[in-house]
Amino acid sequence: MEYVSLWPILLLALIHFFGNRLTFLSAMPRSVWLSGAGGVSVAYVFLHLFPELDEGQEHVETLAWAEGFLRHHVYLVALTGLAVFYGLERLVISSKNEAIADEEDDGEKPSFGAFLVHIGSFAFYNALIGYLLFQREEGPVEEMALFSIAMALHFIVNDVGLLTYHKDNYERFGRWVLVVALVLGWGVGYVLEVSETIVVLVMAFIGGGVILNIMKEELPEERKSRFWAFGLGVAAYSVLLLSI
Length of the chain: 244
Q: Is residue 22 part of a domain?
A: no
User: What is the residue-wise DSSP string for 21-82?
Assistant: G-GGGG-SSPPHHHHHHHHHHHHHIIIIIHHHHHHHHHHHTT-GGGTTTTTT-THHHHHHHH
Number of domains within the chain: 1
Q: Is residue 107 part of a domain?
A: yes
- Distance from C-alpha of 180 to C-alpha of 135, rounded to nearest angstrom: 18
Q: What pLDDT sits at residue 230?
A: 93
Is 230 buried (19+), middle (13-18) or exposed (0-12) by CB count in 10 A? buried
> 131 with 188: CB under 8 angstroms?
yes
SS3 state at 143: helix
> 182 with 16: CB under 8 angstroms?
yes
> 35 with 21: CB under 8 angstroms?
no
Q: Is residue 20 part of a domain?
A: no
Q: What is the pTM of this model?
A: 0.85
Q: Is residue 188 part of a domain?
A: yes
Domain that holds residue 205: 6-14+36-243
- Distance from C-alpha of 239 to C-alpha of 244, rounded to nearest angstrom: 9
Q: Is residue 31 part of a domain?
A: no
Q: Is residue 27 part of a domain?
A: no
Q: What pLDDT sits at residue 195?
A: 78
Q: Is residue 67 part of a domain?
A: yes
CA distances from 243 to 116, 142, 145, 166, 239 (A): 42, 12, 14, 40, 6
Residue 209's nearest CA partner among 109, 114, 137, 132 is 132
Q: Is residue 19 part of a domain?
A: no
User: Per-residue pLDDT for the chain (244 aa), expressed as one digit of tens each?
Assistant: 467 888 899 999 999 888 767 766 766 777 888 899 999 999 999 999 888 887 766 655 555 455 455 555 678 888 999 999 999 888 888 877 776 666 555 555 677 888 888 899 999 999 999 999 988 877 788 888 999 999 999 999 999 888 888 888 888 888 999 999 999 999 998 888 877 778 888 889 999 999 999 998 888 777 778 889 999 999 999 999 998 7
